[in-house]
Amino acid sequence: MVQALERNRDRHFVHEAISWEQFKAIQSGFGNVLNLRLIYCEGILEIMGISKAHEMYTSLLGILLSAYFEINGIEFFPSGAYSQVVPNITEFQADLSYCISQDKDIPDLCIEVVITSGSPSKLRKYQLLGVPEIWFWEDGAIAIYCLQNHQYVKVNQSQVLPSLDLILLCRCLMMSSPLESLREFRKGCSL
């Protein structure tokens, strides 16, 4: 059974012309606020509420990818929503991030689960850090962007995980039962 996506667009705020110092002050003021994410990129501050649906899809995607890595014997180093920082320029957290084969300072793959509207700087922040591949999961589909000549290019297949069946992954993410999703994904990966 497929589930409908929950949309919650009223929990998203973008403000421009914010200095790094202002961002750090605002960030410290929100230090104890739960279910909120602050993203800063070249003067743009984005404040987003994190919904239960967002966390459910993010967690399930992480579980499915962990199963894929295990089934295929791929060494991986997850860093989740670890803060990525280029001082005075950008600070953000991907929903999921992975280094493949060995742990590195910059992840090979960052993934964003988009439930609210996207950021005007959503690719720029990754470009500033030099992340090789970015996925945006939105409306039941994955858009993949690979860094080529310092610019992101939309591609049809992951270069980091070229044998991953993205259609299977997306179908399983939309199933209403996480247990059935994992079972279906494992079955499809084992064929």
Domain ranges of the chain: 52-190
Task: Report residue 10's pLDDT band, with 50, 70 and 90 as the boundaries.
Answer: very low
- 52-190 in CATH: which number? 3.90.1570
Distances from the Cα of 93 to the Cα of 4, 96, 125, 185, angstroms: 26, 8, 10, 27
* Order of all β-strands in the sheet with 44-49: 12-15, 44-49, 36-41, 90-93, 83-86
Give me the chain's average pLDDT, please: 90
Cα 29 to Cα 176: distance, rounded to the nearest angstrom: 37
The band of 2, judged by pLDDT with boundaries at 50, 70 and 90, is: very low
Q: Which residue has the higher pLDDT, 36 or 108?
A: 108
pLDDT value of position 6: 47
pLDDT band at 117 (very low <50, low <70, confident <90, very high): low
Residues 6+ apart with CB under 8 A from 161: 68, 74, 100, 109
Identify the CA nearest to 1 among candidates 130, 180, 137.
180
Contact in structure between 62 and 118 (CB atoms under 8 Å): no
Residue 190, Cβ neighbours under 10 Å: how many? 9
Give strand ranges (E) for 6-72. Answer: 12-15, 36-41, 44-49
